[in-house]
Amino acid sequence: MKTFKQSDALERLPEQFFSNLVNKVMKIKEMHNDVINLGQGNPDQPTPKGIVDKLEQSASNPHYHKYPPFAGFPFLKKAVADYYQREYGVEVDPDTEVAVLAGTKTGLVEISQCFLNKGDIALVPDPGYPDYWSGIALAGAKMHAMPLLEENHFHPDFSIIDENTWQEAKLMFLNYPNNPTGAVATPELFKEAIEVANKYDVCVVHDFAYGAIGFDGKKPLSFLQTPGAKEVGVEMLTLSKTYNMAGWRVGFVVGNPSVVKAIELIQDHYYCSIFGGIQEAAAYALSTDQSNVEQLIKMYEKRRNTLVEAAKKIGWNVNAPKGSFFAWFPVPKGYASAEFADLLLEEARVVVAPGIGFGDHGEGYVRIALLSDDDILKEAINRIGKLEPFTQTHK
């Protein structure tokens, strides 16, 4: 059979590091039925019943059986604007400052194709979400890593980026609460990001996927709460984590009108928006009583506390994440992150994500998801505690 050569754009795509992890997990699962998977970011709770009921009701509306407006229904954009006003005190124009996405994964890839030409630079957090890399590669642009170091609270240090890089940079990706580190933003971080973006004409893209999930009574900051944010960039908000709607594929770009316009333009050529029934359910999720969200955050915080307490009991020197539903734990001395993750999988049958999969500065850590109940998290740590790195600690 003839094999057709892929385009240069596809050839530039980075290797999917985690596909190898999935293959390893599948092989272990074939031999054992007690694998605990803490390596993925897929919410384990169902979508709240009220949202599902709204979809069931709206699905029978024949108006939604036709093509939806290319840019999405105005009522959904208004729900996003109302959400930002209520939750963050931020005024948003639903007509010019909101774009509807089929999930923010899509938008994070599209935005590089909207604003990067061959040879342009995008500033990316390292460690960071690998899909930032994909859009940059498709655009034929270059990445410049911004190290996220523990001693700097996993915030980028803009002062170490050289002048030539700033001159060639067109996009800057930020993500707080952060995947994979669980760090949260400060007003000072966002203020500084806006200052350098203004100085060098860089568009800031803030990935706010875990925006609702903050711990210890602290609500995570929206980038748009910082004065001047809409002048220099956008925020990408998804319903996947806040409302357990990962499979529904609904997200938004909110902020700078020129960016919103560009996203809608490229999507005019890719899509015809999202099924109207899902859009109505999404608007309901944003607009209705948020007690389900509050309960979800409490659940994640309880799981976080369980995980951290169990880890410390086996001698694992860890810090608790401040947001997101991930923990970022250091690898024991003498191990690389992939090597340690393999050990946990093969000897303890516990799946974690090795830090190297998120960038060079992810080395030395593993990411653990808070997406299993407390008993499973305790069992996972109990198994890990029986392995040599921790039994040696107690000798």
Are 182 and 327 in contact by the 8 Å Cβ rule? The answer is yes
Q: Confidence class of residue 393 from pLDDT cuts 50, 70 and 90?
A: low
Q: Which of 177, 179, 189, 243 is nearest to 216 (CA)?
A: 177
Q: What is the pLDDT of residue 234?
A: 98
338 vs 394 pLDDT, higher one: 338
pLDDT band at 23 (very low <50, low <70, confident <90, very high): confident
Is the per-residue pLDDT at 282 higher than 50? yes
For the chain, the average pLDDT equals: 94
Query: By the 8 A CB rule, do 180 and 325 touch?
Result: no
Alpha carbon 277 to chain centroid, angstroms: 25
Q: What is the pLDDT of residue 263?
A: 97
Span 35-62, pLDDT tens digits: 899 988 889 999 999 999 999 999 999 9
pLDDT at 29 over 90: no
The single-letter code of the amino acid at 167 is Q
User: In what helix (H) or strand (E) does residue 278 lie, and over which residues does it extend?
Assistant: helix 276-287
pLDDT in tens, 122-157: 999 999 998 899 999 999 999 999 999 999 999 999
Question: Where residue 247 falls among pLDDT bands split at 50, 70, 90?
Answer: very high
pLDDT digits (tens, 9 = 90+) for 294-304: 999 999 999 99
pTM, full prediction: 0.95
What is the number of residues in the chain?
A: 395
No. of H helices and E strands in the chain? 15, 12
Are residues 282 and 68 in contact, defined by beta-carbon separation less than 8 angstroms?
no
Q: Give the chain's domains with CATH numbers.
A: 8-46+292-389 (3.90.1150.10), 49-287 (3.40.640.10)
pLDDT tier, 395 (very low <50, low <70, confident <90, very high otherwise): very low
Torsion sign, CA atoms 163, 364, 215, 102: positive
Q: Which pLDDT score, from 0 to 100, does residue 30 have?
A: 75
Cα separation of the two ends of the chain: 61
* Sheet containing 169-175: order of strands: 98-101, 251-255, 233-238, 203-207, 169-175, 121-126, 142-147
Range scoring the smallest mean pLDDT among 232-236, 271-275, 374-378? 271-275
Measuring CA to CA, which residue among 144, 149, 185, 136 is closest to residue 163?
144
Nearest to 100 by CA among 249, 286, 277: 249
Alpha helices in 72-212 (DSSP H): 74-88, 104-115, 131-138, 163-168, 187-200
Q: Is 63 exposed, middle or buried (0-12, 13-18, 19+ CB in 10 A)?
A: exposed
Q: What is the pLDDT of residues 75-96, one digit of tens each?
A: 999 999 999 999 999 999 999 9
Q: Which two three-digit tokens encode residue 219? A: 């609500």
Q: Find the mean pLDDT for residues 231-236.
A: 97
- Tell me the C-alpha to C-alpha distance, in Å, between residue 179 and each of 129, 248, 261, 368: 7, 21, 27, 11
Q: How far apart are CA 112 and CA 132, in angstroms?
A: 8
